Chain A
Amino acid sequence: MYVYDEHDHQIIRERVAQFRRQTDRFLAGELKNEEFLPLRLQNGLYVQRLAPMLRIAVPYGMLNSKQLRKLAHICRHYDKGYCHVTTRQNIQLNWPQLEEVPDILAELAEVEMHAVQTSGNCIRNTTTDQFAGVAPDESIDPRPYCEIIRQWSTFHPEFAFLPRKFKIAVCGSEEDRAAIHFHDIGLQLVRNDKGAIGFQVLVGGGLGRTPVIGSVIREFLPEQDLLTYLEAILRIYNLQGRRDNKYKARIKILVKAMGPAAFAEIVEKEWAQISETPTLLTEKEINRAKSYFTAPPYQTLDEASAQQQLNEQAASEKAFSNWLSRNVCGHQISGYRAVTLSLKPTGVAPGDITDKQLEQIADFADRYSFGEVRATHEQNIVLADVPAAQLYALWQELRPAGFATANIGTLNDMICCPGGDFCSLANAKSIPIAEAIQREFDDLDYLYDLGDIDLNISGCMNACGHHHIGHIGILGVDKKGEEFYQVQLGGNAGKQAALGKVLGPSFGADEMPSVVRKVIDVFVANRIDGETFSETYLRVGIEPFKERVYAKAS
């Protein structure tokens, strides 16, 4: 994991001081509300329905146990004893006091954390695969590049007042777990035929009101050119992106209007002028970044005997076997596994986590996984380096702590934004819908039989719950002041990137569990040979679902 040096500490400390002064000026009436707004947003501070909300950056999802304990302390001392894992791998506090935010930031700085650029019209936290560095299908670890991008984008003087927010995601594996097709810039790490590392560059993807799948504007960008190229893209966007209409200000609209080829051409033209500047990455810097993401001191473990033991434990205990098949996945190092801690037990808002639980996770990380965890964009927590032989012991500890719900990847592991319970932009609540669906599908064996299904819920068009790219997407809509829900089918966040199609007219909250039940029934009735939901959907299309869900009661 990256470790701050004196420069990093200095910059973050100065940021805390800067924000403290801005807050003081605001409270003293010397800084106008509309001027303070973008300044506090760029420090992650929103003013929400009930209270301010502080979004803390978790760069590409990585956290260590010391940071988890600090977060627990902050939740307890400055908030109501819990926080929320967001769909962009960050952590959100729901009830901080504005006057105390500078103190919170100072506490975070002590453990090399901050809330820099977690909101506002600037370059946001770079996200990646939660299994980076351990995924068996990974060819290149994306994290050193994420850290390089983090540093470059932190207080970039030219790009702090963009037309709109700007999100970058990096993927280094076969399967895309970072949704790079749906970011302003998506970067796929690749090797060219000479074995050199570089990026395939996608631009103009995004969700929100106008969901768009990103376009490839460059097949191979050598790694050392990363920052100059990003700078060229951002400069063109900053100068030419629309500023007259907030809903048309994202880069996707610019790329669409110009066409990806024409956009690529002006980027290349700008890039030609800056590609040789000192912002060209050095080999030394790339190696320095990589030096923080080397393998932890793995032991040499006997994979075969560990696997045999797991088989025996699984055979004698069904609940363990379920957990093993849903919440545990493979690892690059033999004898190790990556474990997902489910933050989606029925009855808890998806992604919510208490101060005590944060401390428990810190302990698990220290004892089982080299002191580190990752926050996932599906709003769970990953222990990435657990010895297979210790899985049973870990599982026994996770159960009483509430993290062992064996539902990862199932319908009940839904992505869900805070919605109308917290968010002032919401059209409808989302958390109670998630819970009602979880209660409808309370039979775990049935859920396992259904296989992997992404169900994503957003409380409004802003799509923080990524509803367009759920296999089943649910969107809260407002109809004459009442909360309704639109259903979409067929979205896909991965390499088979697809946007969901609207099923038809929307439903009331109380209808939602039975609507999802009908959708699942159609899948089960049409499914051939263990197909996944999205395979069946691709084969049969949306019609059978429409027919069933909107069938008149006879």
Chain B
Amino acid sequence: MPKLVKNGQLGDDTTVVVTDASMLTDAVVESADFVVSLDLYNQLLSEAPEKAAKAGLLLNGDQDPASVKQLVKQVSLICIEFPVFTDGRGFSLARMIRDHFDYTGELRATGAFIQDQLFFLKRCGFSSFVVADETKLESAIQSLNDFTDCYQAAADEPQPLYRRR
């Protein structure tokens, strides 16, 4: 099972990715954390708002950031999936969700990102990370702290170095 690194703690990643409304049985809604695409989320909002209320959002960088602006107040889990690790859109999307939309819930990185990006992901506002390869967990946690100091302001440090020097 993929592992979840969250606030420096380790756990199993049990989140269910729901790709179709028919997957949303009562059992799933009751018992599991689940995430849905933006389209499905909007569909649930009109058809089954009680299910929407329990859902997390799964984004991947294809969405116009403005289209999630209103939703972030209603969800407590947003996953941003990296289709390939070299696709850096998720970094900017995360910053907009944190900085512009003031989202304070869990922001999770999923998909093809690599451990060497963890430090940057954290800086951009991600608070949890799905690590598929269990054998790399220890090394990955080390990568989360590759640097102890940074020049720029970001989601983890509102003051750039020049205001702290």
- Is B108 interfacial (CB 8 A cutoff)? no
Docked-complex contact A158 and B95, CB < 8 angstroms: yes
Q: Which residues 150-165 of B have a CB within 8 angstroms of A?
A: 150-154, 158-163, 165
Tell me, in angstroms, the Cα distance from A88 to B117 when the chains sit together: 27
Q: Considering only CB atoms, which chain A residue lies closest to B136 in the complex?
A: A30
Docked-complex contact B162 and A161, CB < 8 angstroms: no
Docked-complex contact B151 and A162, CB < 8 angstroms: no
Docked-complex contact A161 and B91, CB < 8 angstroms: yes
Q: Which residues 119-165 of B have a CB within 8 angstroms of A?
A: 119-121, 123-124, 136, 139, 142, 146-154, 158-163, 165
Q: Which of A14, A156, A274 contacts B152 (CB 8 A)?
A: A156
Tell me, in angstroms, the Cα distance from A157 to B121 when the chains sit together: 7
Docked-complex contact A10 and B88, CB < 8 angstroms: no
Contact with A along B48-61 (1 / 0, CB 8 A): 00000000000001
Tell me whether A279 and B165 are in contact in the complex, defined as CB-CB below 8 angstroms, given that A121-B86, A157-B152, A239-B89 are known contacts.
no
Tell me whether A278 and B163 are in contact in the complex, defined as CB-CB below 8 angstroms, given that A239-B92, A239-B93, A243-B87 are known contacts.
yes
Q: What's the least CB distance linking A465 to chain B, in Å?
A: 27
- In the assembled complex, which residues on chain A have CB atoms less than 8 Å from the CB atom of B159? 278
Docked-complex contact B153 and A35, CB < 8 angstroms: no
- Is B13 interfacial (CB 8 A cutoff)? no
Tell me, in angstroms, the Cα distance from A475 to B163 when the chains sit together: 47
Q: What's the least CB distance linking B14 to chain A, in Å?
A: 27
Tell me, in angstroms, the Cα distance from A239 to B95 when the chains sit together: 11
Q: What's the least CB distance linking A230 to chain B, in Å?
A: 11
Tell me, in angstroms, the Cα distance from A31 to B147 when the chains sit together: 20
Tell me, in angstroms, the Cα distance from A444 to B153 when the chains sit together: 54
- In the assembled complex, which residues on chain A have CB atoms less than 8 Å from the CB atom of B85? 35, 161
- Is B100 interfacial (CB 8 A cutoff)? yes
Docked-complex contact B161 and A157, CB < 8 angstroms: no
Q: Which of B120, B160, B163 contacts A157 (CB 8 A)?
A: B120
Q: Which of B89, B91, B117, B150 contacts A11 (CB 8 A)?
A: B150
Tell me, in angstroms, the Cα distance from A11 to B121 when the chains sit together: 18
Tell me whether A282 and B88 are in contact in the complex, defined as CB-CB below 8 angstroms, given that A155-B147, A160-B120 are known contacts.
no
Docked-complex contact B152 and A161, CB < 8 angstroms: no
Docked-complex contact A238 and B91, CB < 8 angstroms: yes
Docked-complex contact A14 and B163, CB < 8 angstroms: no
Docked-complex contact B160 and A18, CB < 8 angstroms: no
Tell me whether A22 and B116 are in contact in the complex, defined as CB-CB below 8 angstroms, given that A158-B124, A239-B93, A282-B163 are known contacts.
yes
- In the assembled complex, which residues on chain A have CB atoms less than 8 Å from the CB atom of B106? none
Tell me whether A39 and B116 are in contact in the complex, defined as CB-CB below 8 angstroms, given that A5-B165, A161-B87 are known contacts.
yes
Tell me whether A14 and B147 are in contact in the complex, defined as CB-CB below 8 angstroms, given that A243-B87, A279-B160 are known contacts.
yes
Contact size range, B: 35 or more
Tell me whether A152 and B152 are in contact in the complex, defined as CB-CB below 8 angstroms, given that A157-B119, A278-B158 are known contacts.
yes
Contact with B along A12-23 (1 / 0, CB 8 A): 001101100110
Q: What's the least CB distance linking B95 to chain A, in Å?
A: 6
Q: What's the least CB distance linking A101 to chain B, in Å?
A: 16
Q: Which of A30, A158, A238 contacts B154 (CB 8 A)?
A: A158
Q: Which of B89, B120, B160 contacts A238 (CB 8 A)?
A: B89
Q: Considering only CB atoms, which chain B residue lies closest to A18 in the complex?
A: B146
Q: Which of B96, B114, B149 contacts A10 (CB 8 A)?
A: B149
Tell me, in angstroms, the Cα distance from A156 to B142 when the chains sit together: 19
- In the assembled complex, which residues on chain A have CB atoms less than 8 Å from the CB atom of B136? 30
Q: What's the least CB distance linking B138 to chain A, in Å?
A: 12
- Is A323 interfacial (CB 8 A cutoff)? no
- In the assembled complex, which residues on chain B have CB atoms less than 8 Å from the CB atom of A273? 99-100
- In the assembled complex, which residues on chain A have CB atoms less than 8 Å from the CB atom of B148? 10, 14
Q: Considering only CB atoms, which chain A residue lies closest to B150 in the complex?
A: A155
- Is A312 interfacial (CB 8 A cutoff)? no
Q: Which of B121, B158, B165 contacts A7 (CB 8 A)?
A: B165
Docked-complex contact A14 and B146, CB < 8 angstroms: yes
Tell me whether A160 and B88 are in contact in the complex, defined as CB-CB below 8 angstroms, given that A14-B147, A279-B160 are known contacts.
yes
Docked-complex contact B161 and A151, CB < 8 angstroms: yes
Extra contacts, 14 of them, besides A121-B88, A157-B123, A158-B120 (Cβ < 8 A), are: A11-B147, A35-B85, A121-B86, A157-B121, A157-B152, A158-B95, A161-B87, A161-B88, A162-B88, A227-B160, A243-B87, A277-B153, A279-B160, A282-B162
A-B complex: 8 closest residue pairs judged by Cβ atoms = A161-B88, A157-B123, A157-B120, A285-B162, A151-B151, A158-B91, A238-B92, A18-B146
Q: Give 10 CB contacts A-B under 8 Å.
A: A17-B146, A30-B139, A35-B85, A154-B151, A157-B91, A157-B121, A158-B123, A161-B91, A277-B153, A277-B158
